[in-house]
Amino acid sequence: MTAPPASCTAAVERYRTGAGIAKSSTRIYRISLTTWGWMLTGEPAPTGPVRRAPAARRKG
């Protein structure tokens, strides 16, 4: 499994930091938006603990 495209990861981070959402909600937003990014690239999204880990900790 490869990492999501850098542009998707950057877009998710820009949204999370600029949206003004509660700090306690940012994790779930990151998980959801990153999953959508995987689907839009046509690759299966990671599952389980890997899906919930920050992108820097994922192994591809």
> How many domains does the chain contain in total?
1
Give the model's pLDDT for residue 60: 47
Quote the domain boundaries for residue 45: 6-55
Confirm whether 60 is domain-assigned.
no
Encode pLDDT of 30-49 as tens digits.
888 888 877 777 877 777 77
Confirm whether 17 is domain-assigned.
yes
Confirm whether 1 is domain-assigned.
no
Encode pLDDT of 2-11 as tens digits.
666 677 778 8
DSSP states along 24-59: GGHHHHHHHHHHHHHHHHTSPPP-HHHHHS-GGG--
Confirm whether 32 is domain-assigned.
yes
Confirm whether 25 is domain-assigned.
yes
- % the chain with pLDDT above 90: 0
- % the chain with pLDDT above 70: 73
